[in-house]
Amino acid sequence: MGVSVENQRWTARAEYLRRIRAAVRFLPCEPLLGPPELDLRKIDWVIVGGESGPDARPMKPDWARSIRMQCEAAGVAFFFKQ
C-alpha cells in the first residue's frame, strides 16, 4: 500500500500509511515537486519520479538525491524512474 508525497506539504500522509496493516508500505514521491524530509519508519520502499509532458513542472536533481540519501540512511529501498 502506498501514498503519494509530492513535497514537504504532503509528508503527513506517511503517518496514515504507517497506521495501516500492509505487507509492504511505499511512498511514491511523484511527481516530485519539492524536497521533502521524510520519516521513513515502517516504510519499505520509496519511488521517485518527475512529471512528464509539455506542461511538466521541473524537478531538481538534488531533490531526488536527498531522498536517495534519506533512504540509504534508513535502509529503505529506493527506485528512481524517468
The per-residue pLDDT for range 29-72, each reduced to its tens digit, is 999 999 999 999 999 999 999 999 999 999 999 999 999 999 99
The pTM assigned to this predicted structure is 0.92
The confidence score (pLDDT) of residue 82 equals: 76
Mean pLDDT calculated for residue range 14-38: 96
Is the Cβ–Cβ distance between 73 and 55 less than 8 Å? no
Residues contacting 55, CB < 8 A, separation 6+: none
Q: Band the pLDDT of 7: cuts 50, 70, 90.
A: very high
Q: For residue 72, what is its C-alpha cell?
A: 540509504
